[in-house]
Amino acid sequence: MSNNCMRLLILLFCCFSGFATAQSYEKLYSDYRGSLYQIRLIEKSSNSKAGLGSGFQISANGLIATNYHVVAEAVGDPDKYQLEYLSVDGKQGSLTLLDIDVVNDLAILRQDQPGPEYLQLAEVTPQKGETIFSLGNPLDLGMTLIPGTYNGIAGGSFYDRIHFSGSINPGMSGGPAINAQGKVVGINVATAGNQVSFLVPVDKLARLYKSFLAQGDKKVDLQAVTHRQLLANQNAIITQILNAEWKPRALGEAMVVGEIVPAIQCWGNTQEEDDNPVTRIDKGCTGQDVVYLSEDFNTGRVEYEFFWLQAENLQPSRFYSEYEQQMSNFYPGNNAGEDDVTNYHCNQAFTSQPRVRGPATKVEEEEKPPKQQGPVIARTSYCVRRYKEFPDLYDIFYLSLSVDQKNRALVSHFTLSGFTQESAEAFTEKFTSEIQWH
């Protein structure tokens, strides 16, 4: 066969493959578009849209699945907001919120008039590298199909999320991601941009659906459900953290907490400027995701950070002046308003941080060991604020600043959001015991 013939066959094959792919995408959209809906948050007074998302029908009797964050404002303020749907063919109607899973960002609603089509939930997990298809209504532009790649469960989170290589844009939240057979494998939830997006695995929706069906006709108390889910979530997080192997890391002349579990990632930075005589080394560690409760209220956060400050040839009074100036602005890592939480109540005390001596060198072994120094003194604040709707859950804010070294200082801070007092006390005891000075 001549080279020209071979080129022609390759060209024809590529053109046909591209055409076939375009046709298959078009058929997928055509086959399943009737199951898709825009979810509208309507502000009652103005009778106007206040928020948009996507959803999909999952049963013949008109049950619709979406993200919790799409409908959260209607949960928090039902007197101000109502929920409506809009089909791809322009059919409109009202929605009733039936059940929620705030940890996995899911909600189940019912249409006032069920649509004729619905999607089935997949029972088989896609293979890594398999093409799947996200559907939703991006930027209120109309229903769209986005092909992308299934990359398995993303690492580095307390919450299972599918890593999807495709563009999920605002307005697509709550829409389905389907496989080539049209079965739901995930639910659109978030994006990091640059073709990095995330889906809630369909098994989370299947579990919520099964739980809802088991309730029968009994009305679900959404606040009680939320409370129960938050308690279980914080218990799972604190159990994972306390059972992990804590590996101290050096920071200046101290040993501090490093990455305890994969869901907590740490970053570092050194600030050393010619016009500032104080060198500062920062280490910040935080969980990558939170539980969304409302636009102004999130929970489930674990974060901690350390700052090592030192100066050479600087009077202690000048050092502590610079130290206090740099460390004057600390605040909790999660959002919460006065309707959500009480004011912080703080206990302050002076505490001690022990010194440890590392392995002796050969020279030290031959000489008389130096006299051990006493512990380092720190000024510590332990602050707590209570969740108003969930009285046994709290935000905890901890801050410790060493105060008795001439030109050295260590600052330790952590925030826990949405934890019980028992969990917070266990974390605090473990956290403080890991901080030591050389």
Give the pLDDT confidence score for residue 152 in this predicted structure. 96
How far out from the chain centre does Cα 149 lie? 22
Burial class (CB in 10 A: 0-12, 13-18, 19+), 261: middle
Q: SS3 for 345-402, per residue? A: EEEEEEEEECECCCCCCHHHHHCCCCCCCCCEEEEEEEEEEEECCCCCCEEEEEEEEE
Residue (of 166, 234, 240, 263) closest to 420 by Cα position: 234
Q: Crossing angle, helix 421-433 and helix 222-243, to 10 degrees?
A: 20
3-class SS of residue 141: coil
Nearest alpha carbon to residue 175 among 159, 149, 197 = 197
Cα–Cα distance list, 347 to 211, 272, 421 (Å) = 42, 34, 14
Burial class (CB in 10 A: 0-12, 13-18, 19+), 404: middle
Q: Are 203 and 172 in contact (CB under 8 A)?
A: no
Q: Which of 60, 56, 52, 66 is nearest to 32 (CA)?
A: 56
- The one-digit pLDDT tens for each residue of the chain (438 residues) are 555 555 544 444 444 444 445 557 778 878 888 999 999 999 999 999 889 999 999 999 999 999 999 999 999 889 999 999 999 999 999 999 999 999 999 999 999 999 999 999 999 999 999 999 999 988 888 888 999 999 999 988 899 999 999 989 889 999 999 999 999 999 999 988 888 999 999 999 999 999 999 988 788 899 999 999 999 999 999 999 999 999 999 999 999 999 999 999 999 999 876 677 888 999 999 998 899 999 899 999 999 999 999 988 788 888 888 888 877 787 787 889 899 999 999 999 998 888 876 544 444 444 444 444 678 888 999 999 999 999 999 999 999 999 888 888 999 999 999 999 999 999 999 999 999 988
Q: What angle do CA 268, 274, 276 make, to 5 degrees?
A: 75
In whole angstroms, what is the distance from residue 300 CA to residue 183 CA? 31
In degrees, to the nearest 5, what angle opens at C-alpha 284 toward C-alphas 404 and 163?
165
How does DSSP classify residue 148?
E
- Count of C-beta atoms within a 10 Å radius of residue 119: 20
Which run of H or of E encompasses 227? Answer: helix 222-243
Element (H, E) at 185: strand 184-193
Q: Are 166 and 148 in contact (CB under 8 A)?
A: yes
Tell me what pLDDT residue 4 has. Answer: 57
The answer to whether 307 touches 268, Cβ cutoff 8 Å, is no
Contacts of 436 (CB under 8 A, 6+ apart): 248, 254, 255, 353, 354, 355, 356
